[in-house]
Amino acid sequence: MSGLVKEYSLLLKDIIMTLTKTQFVCVQPKTEYALERFEGLMDKLHSCRVVIDKEQTYVLASITNKYSFEMGKEYDEHWEIIK
């Protein structure tokens, strides 16, 4: 019986990890406004954590957690997604 419980527990852990997997995108500043935040609040780190993935936009949080912002997926005035 304990083997079955252990197997079930591992399966649940895998399901939870899959559902809560954190998504990241890398961004590049396009404007002076964005560059100031990139240098001052984001420590020049391009990776951002996706907090909310909407149909047209992302809500992102910097790796430093000092800055969060919303940006368009297709076009944004201040930021661009880089690969």
pLDDT, one tens digit per residue, over 2-23 is 777 777 777 777 666 666 788 9
Per the CB < 8 A criterion, the answer to whether 25 and 80 are in contact is no
The count of domains in the chain is 1
In a domain, 4, yes or no: no
Q: What percent of the chain has pLDDT over 90?
A: 72
Residue 47 lies in a domain: yes
Tokens read off for 59: 């809500």
**Residue 54 sits in which domain range?**
21-82
Say what the pTM is.
Answer: 0.74
